[in-house]
Amino acid sequence: MPSVSLEPALEALRSGEIIGVPTDTVYGIAADPMQRSAVERLFTAKRRPGIKPIPILVASIEDARRIAVIDEGAAATATRHWPGGLTLILPRVVDLPDWVGDSQRNTVGVRIPNHAIALQLLAVSGPLAVTSANRSGADPAIDRSEAEEALGDSVAAYLPGRGSGGAASTVVDLSGAKPRTLRKGPVDWAPS
């Protein structure tokens, strides 16, 4: 795949704006999770209630460890399924800001996408809060043009491309005593 110019998107992220990015599931919108106002922009653009946490996409398991506590079992699951369409709900690291993940449950959703453009961006930007590019309750955008149609100029920059899976990720909660599947998706997951 030819290289994509990331600079406009990176500049927007540094400025606390949101950007459009293709992933291995659907086309998404992303923000710097460490900037509270940027995360709030994601909720506003989607018209999504602020009580539903936004997952964090990362480029590597090392990056995931900056966000989440990854024990041996979680590391084995991540190694088996990442990069890919599996979001793991894990305990948050101690110094994570309250607005990242679910501060009530002390958890955060994290995954590594299997998409060249998303990985190229994440390798430079670091972890990003990413959610589907659509208004809350509407079908997720599959590509840049659908995202632009749905969200317009509430998104500062759109990277080219399309989501390669078309379905939201499988979500598995590994934060409790027993693993639980919270949302079925493209990865058939079962505890090992």
Give the model confidence (pLDDT) of 180-189 as tens digits.
999 998 888 7
Average pLDDT over the chain reads 91
Of the pLDDT bands very low, low, confident and very high (cuts 50, 70, 90), residue 136 is: confident
Over the stretch 142-172, which tens digit does the pLDDT of each residue have?
A: 999 999 999 999 999 999 999 887 678 899 9
What's at 126, amino acid-wise? Answer: G
pLDDT of residue 1: 47
Over the stretch 25-83, which tens digit does the pLDDT of each residue have?
A: 899 999 999 999 999 999 899 887 766 889 999 999 999 999 999 999 999 999 999 99
Is the pLDDT confidence value at 19 over 50?
yes
> Omega before 83 cis (within 30°)?
yes
pLDDT of residue 89: 97
pLDDT of residue 177: 87
Over the stretch 85-116, which tens digit does the pLDDT of each residue have?
A: 999 999 999 999 999 999 899 999 999 999 99
Q: Where do the domains of the chain lie?
A: 7-183
Query: How far is the C-alpha of 73 from the C-alpha of 115, rounded, in Å?
Result: 25
Query: How far is the C-alpha of 37 from the C-alpha of 18, rounded, in Å?
Result: 10
Mean pLDDT across 8-17: 96
What's at 54, amino acid-wise? Answer: I
Structure tokens at 101: 């993940």
Measured from the Cβ of residue 49, the count of other Cβ atoms closer than 10 Å reads 8
pLDDT of residue 188: 84
Of the pLDDT bands very low, low, confident and very high (cuts 50, 70, 90), residue 191 is: low
CATH of range 7-183; options 1.10.3720.10, 3.40.30.10, 3.30.1330.120, 3.90.870.10: 3.90.870.10
In which element (H, E) is residue 157 found?
A: strand 157-158
Residue scoring higher pLDDT (135 or 15): 15
- Supply the pTM of this predicted model: 0.93
